[in-house]
């Protein structure tokens, strides 16, 4: 049972890594959240895959700075914010329930607070 779970985690790691790589090419798809998910699933799936993923150029270019310094470029922040706003606003406009709208509004406010005050903004990454 444990080995099946590890295989599933590794498979999800590759799926999210693929989506992150697609996000490098297509500017509408954010790269960082998919690569963070890939990293999470590789860590849960296998130490070997975690070490491999952290050694890839994709990880080093798009995640290493965030993981080590808790910082992002303004462009990375803006893309993530817009993408997440769209994902949060879809259910906001699709529901009539006030409590759901209040919760989603609080999530958006907290997200902006976190991105503005907790994640440093750097000019240009140096690699």
Give the Å distances, CA to CA, from 81 to 5, 96, 107, 114: 32, 24, 12, 11
Same domain, 35 and 83: no
Same domain, 42 and 58: yes
Burial string for 3-34 (b: 16+ CB within 10 Å, else e) reads: eeeeeebbebbeebbebbbebeeeeebbbbbb
Same domain, 2 and 62: yes
Where helices occur in the chain by DSSP H, the ranges are 2-25, 32-45, 47-54, 57-62, 64-69, 74-94, 98-113
- Residues forming beta bridges with residue 72, ordered by sequence position: 121
Same domain, 52 and 101: no
In contact, 46 and 6? CB cutoff 8 Å: yes
Same domain, 79 and 61: no
pLDDT in tens, 14-59: 999 998 888 887 767 778 788 888 988 999 898 888 888 888 888 8
pLDDT in tens, 72-91: 888 888 888 888 888 888 88
**pTM strictly above 0.75:** no
**Boundaries of domain holding 3:** 1-68
Same domain, 18 and 48: yes
Average pLDDT over residues 114-127: 79
Total domains in the fold of the chain: 2
Same domain, 29 and 63: yes
pLDDT tops 70 at residue 127: no
Same domain, 78 and 23: no
Same domain, 48 and 105: no
């Amino acid at each position: 049972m444990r080995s099946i779970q590890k295989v599933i985690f590794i498979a999800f790691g590759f799926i999210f890594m693929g989506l992150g790589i697609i996000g490098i090419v297509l500017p509408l798809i954010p790269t960082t959240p998919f690569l963070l998910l890939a990293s999470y699933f590789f860590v849960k799936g296998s130490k070997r895959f975690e070490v491999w993923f952290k050694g890839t150029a994709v990880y080093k270019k798009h995640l290493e700075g965030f993981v080590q310094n808790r910082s992002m470029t303004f462009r990375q922040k803006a893309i993530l914010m817009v993408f997440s706003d769209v994902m949060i606003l879809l259910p906001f406009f699709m529901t009539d329930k006030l409590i759901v709208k209040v919760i989603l509004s609080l999530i958006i406010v907290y997200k902006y607070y976190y991105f503005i005050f907790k994640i440093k903004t750097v000019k240009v990454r140096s690699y």
